[in-house]
């Protein structure tokens, strides 16, 4: 047996072990995060490296206003309670836009955004979107809808260095996330597409109009928010 033939099985074993680590590690971390608060995310580390002070406080879903939960679902993912991690119509529209404009954009559900926020770096490219989709499958398999929205609302960026509903409520309205009014909840949801550009406490005309629309739709969401309740 030549030295090369001896090395071949060893390389195959190393590759197999590496593949198993890549597959199993995210699953184990997702399972762990089904039970414990997420301590930090890649985006938080990136912003901290840029010199931003971090404002965050993890709170259970029971301490987050139902109005905010409904408003975020209306603003970000109206089929959150019924889809299985992906929304085909939204993805198709995003794909069509990408084909016409040449940019990768849109189509992400709350579950997909949670996968990105918890595990991945910011940016728009096909590699990251592929990883996002893969991690979304783990989240759908291992977390309840209530857990998904709880994690999302605790880690999403709500302004420069501001993460999660509790920190956002205190920063913008000087109150807890549990005591937000329907209008305040709608304002917070309205800025989520661009939280570093828009402010919930100092909204411009576009954010005010968007918040009014969200508030009206949230009041009528009904069964569309059936998967979220005070836990």
pTM as predicted: 0.86
Assess if residue 24 is contained within a domain.
Answer: no
Q: How far apart are CA 61 and CA 74, in angstroms?
A: 17
Domain span including residue 64: 60-228
Gyration radius of the chain over CA positions? 20
Q: Tell me what percent of the residues of the chain surpass a pLDDT of 90.
A: 66
**pLDDT confidence bin for 19, thresholds 50/70/90:** very low
Average pLDDT, the chain: 86
Q: Look at residue 96 and tell me whether its pLDDT is greater than 60.
A: no
The pLDDT tens digits of the residues spanning 68-95 come to 999 999 999 999 999 998 887 655 565 5
What is the count of structural domains for the chain? 1
Give the largest Cα separation in the chain, rounded: 76
**Around Cβ 158, how many Cβ atoms within 10 Å?**
25
Q: What is the mean pLDDT of residues 176-202?
A: 96
Long-range contacts of 79-84 (CB under 8 A, 24+ apart): 79/109, 79/224, 80/109, 80/110, 80/111, 80/145, 80/149, 80/227, 81/145, 81/223, 81/224, 81/225, 81/226, 81/227, 81/228, 82/224, 83/109, 83/111, 84/140
Assess if residue 40 is contained within a domain.
Answer: no
Q: Look at residue 150 and tell me whether its pLDDT is greater than 90.
A: yes
Assess if residue 204 is contained within a domain.
Answer: yes
Q: How far apart are CA 151 and CA 115, in angstroms?
A: 10
Q: Do the beta carbons of residue 167 and residue 57 sit within 8 Å? A: yes
Q: Look at residue 12 and tell me whether its pLDDT is greater than 70.
A: no
Instruction: Give the domain CATH number at 205.
Output: 1.10.3810.10
Assess if residue 5 is contained within a domain.
Answer: no
Assess if residue 25 is contained within a domain.
Answer: no
Assess if residue 88 is contained within a domain.
Answer: yes
Most confident of 1-5, 24-28, 92-96: 24-28
């Amino acid at each position: 047996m030549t030295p090369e033939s001896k090395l071949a099985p060893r390389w195959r074993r190393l590759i197999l072990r590496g593949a198993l680590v890549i597959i199993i590690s995210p699953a184990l971390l997702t399972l762990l995060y089904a039970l414990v608060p997420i301590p930090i995310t890649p985006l938080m580390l990136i912003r901290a490296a840029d010199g931003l002070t971090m404002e965050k406080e993890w709170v259970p879903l029971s301490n987050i206003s139902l109005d905010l939960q409904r408003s975020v679902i209306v603003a970000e993912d109206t089929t959150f309670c019924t889809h299985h991690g992906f929304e085909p119509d939204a993805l198709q529209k995003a794909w069509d836009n990408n084909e016409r404009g040449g940019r990768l954009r849109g189509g992400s559900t709350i579950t997909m955004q949670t996968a990105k926020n918890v595990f991945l770096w910011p940016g728009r490219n096909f590699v990251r979107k592929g990883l996002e989709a893969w991690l979304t499958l783990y989240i759908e398999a291992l977390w309840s809808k209530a857990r998904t929205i709880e994690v999302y609302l605790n880690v999403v960026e709500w302004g420069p260095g501001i993460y999660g509903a509790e920190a956002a409520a205190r920063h913008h309205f000087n109150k807890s996330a549990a005591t937000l009014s329907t209008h305040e909840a709608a304002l917070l949801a309205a800025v989520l597409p661009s939280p570093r550009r828009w402010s919930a406490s100092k909204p411009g005309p576009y954010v005010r109009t968007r918040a009014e629309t969200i508030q009206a739709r949230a009041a009528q969401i009904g069964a569309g928010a059936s998967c979220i309740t005070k836990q």
